Structure 1
Amino acid sequence: MPLAGRSPSANPRNRNAKTYDWTTVEATAYDGPSPELPAKGGRQRWHRETRAWWEAVRRMPHCRLWTDTDWRFAMETAVLVEAFWRDSPSVAAELRLRSAKLGLTHEDRLKLRIRYAAPDDGDQVLTQTPAAVARLDERRKRLVDGAS
């Protein structure tokens, strides 16, 4: 007995046009302003692997696209990386989702439609920082002083 409904298309590709285009970023490490990991209370320091993760993330070429909220999201993700390396594997699923949103792997960047290109490839390459990173120290101080 045949199934109800339309028969499959002979050309099953997606006919919907993409609503946004690729972002091409110069394939050089980002060396612009980026926040430091916040100081931890007491004598405890960030795990060695967390510090290495943060240094790799803050130097990704597409970080020049990030705004203040993107940096905050990355810093919050660093807390999950810290928990993972401090023997809390239950955060692995959330860490994987956040890593994809940050575009940490080549596959993740393809999904985000970000590509790296050498400046001499002839592509229109973004080389400057579109938005300055805000210093959060002053805001934290105001929040703490206001709560007192």
Structure 2
Amino acid sequence: MAGMGPAPKPEGRKARRNKDTIPQTVLRWERAEAPELPDFRIEQGGQLVEFVWPERTREWWAMWIESPQADHFGSSDWQFLLDTALIHARLWRGDLSAASELRLRVAAFGATPADRARLRMVFAEADGADQGRGSSGAPSARERYGNLRSISGGQSAPGAST
């Protein structure tokens, strides 16, 4: 995928310690409420007709409003996502050429597990929900192998050939 290289390393793990040549800009954060999908008219056959959002796009929009990511969206994020909703509507009306642009846009918001990993997003509740066992619920490696000890000093395990 063009323009998507590996995520940068955390500051403490970088080999080079020189400062960034471009200073960081710190912005004041203001959470914004999600807008409703707007009513508007489009030109069709020389006349203005009411645009009807596909039901699938309405469901998609509701999903984004309820997503954990939405807690971190500002007004410009919602406006970008609103424009993305129009692309989503095009796709669900059969315009398959909209698919690649839609994929790129929703990736910026962490739509898939791979997108969230690249953006370094994690779900906080996941850590406590599985008691640190991972998503499968199986015992961790430490629980399975915690009592194993290495044999040193030239001793071999019982039954092992030397």
Specify every segment of 5 or more residues in structure 1 that has no aligned partner in the other structure, as ranges.
1-13, 21-31, 122-148
Query: Which residue identity does 1:85 align to in structure 2?
Result: W
1:18 to 10, 13, 21: 10
- Quote how far apart the aligned CAs of 1:92 are: 0.7
Q: What is the RMSD of the two structures over their aligned residues, measured on CA atoms?
A: 2.7
Q: Which residue identity lines up with residue 56 of structure 2 in the other structure?
A: E
Percent identical residues:
34
Match of 2:139 in 1: none
What CA deviation, in whole Å up to 9, does each residue of 1:3-52 have, x standing for no partner? xxxxxxxxxxx9x74249xxxxxxxxxxx831111113234420011111
Unmatched segments (≥5 aa) in structure 2: 1-5, 13-31, 42-48, 129-162
Name the structure 2 match of 1:104. Answer: 111
1:71 CA drift (Å): 0.6
Q: For residue 55 of structure 1, what is the amino acid of its counterpart?
A: A
Q: Which of structures 1 and 2 has the larger relative contact order (alpha carbons within 8 angstroms, sep 6+)? A: 1
Aligned equivalents of 2:107 and 2:127: distance in 1? Answer: 28
Query: TM-score under structure 1 normalisation?
Result: 0.58
Which structure's residues are more often helix, by fraction? 1
Gap change, CA 1:96 and 1:19, over 3 Å in 2: farther
Aligned partners of 1:120, 1:112: CA distance in 2, in Å?
A: 18
Aligned residues: 97
Cα pair distance change 1:91/1:19, threshold 3 Å: farther
- TM-score, with length taken from structure 2: 0.53
CA distance in 1, matches of 2:9, 2:60: 36
**1:117 maps to which residue?**
124
Aligned to 1:64: 71
